[in-house]
Amino acid sequence: MPRGPACSITGRKVLPLVALAVLLAFTALFAGCTAAPGGADAATISPLNGTVTKVEVIHFTAPNQCYSCVVLGDYAEETVKTHFPGELGSGKLVFDHVDVADPEKKEIVERYGATGSSLWIGTYDDQGGFSKEEDTRVWYKLNDKPGFMQYLKTLIGMRLAGDFSQ
């Protein structure tokens, strides 16, 4: 009389290994996500030497955008236009949507190093300095438009003031 499937003994040995592999994968995946923004890992010293003269907020796009990519750009543009009309008018703040595949935009794509849909903030100073940063935190705020706008408003305001603590 058969005692059961032949793989049951092997399955009992493999299951703990699979569970351990999944646990290790999650640990590795989320290892960098434990520090709070503005915490000990934040750059508290300005990467620039002079006074901020201009901040660029660039929404880089790919030729075929997904829904989240479109929302990211729309929220960022609305935030800038709502909260910084004076800075936009004076040229101290610039906002743009840039397709990474557009040959006419090759210079700005290379300056930032963008490869696909992303939001970058570039800060220029009066000494010719330039600092760029990709903001990945905005992706986690797409389901909360007011939270997204408040976060980005605060971040842009900090960069305009030369504050790189967050």
pLDDT value at residue 114: 93
For helices 67-83 and 145-160, give the axis angle rounded to 10 degrees.
50
pLDDT value at residue 41: 37
What is the tens place of the pLDDT at every residue in 98-145? 999 999 999 999 999 999 999 999 999 999 999 999 999 999 999 999
Is residue 110 a contact partner of residue 90, using CB atoms and an 8 Å limit?
no
Residues 6+ apart with CB under 8 A from 69: 61, 62, 117
pTM above 0.85, yes or no: no
Percent of the chain with pLDDT over 90: 63
- The tokens describing 28, both together, are 């590795």
pLDDT value at residue 28: 46
What residues in the chain have per-residue pLDDT under 70?
Answer: 1-46
Residues facing residue 70 across a β-bridge: none
Residues 6+ apart with CB under 8 A from 166: 37, 38, 42, 154, 155, 158
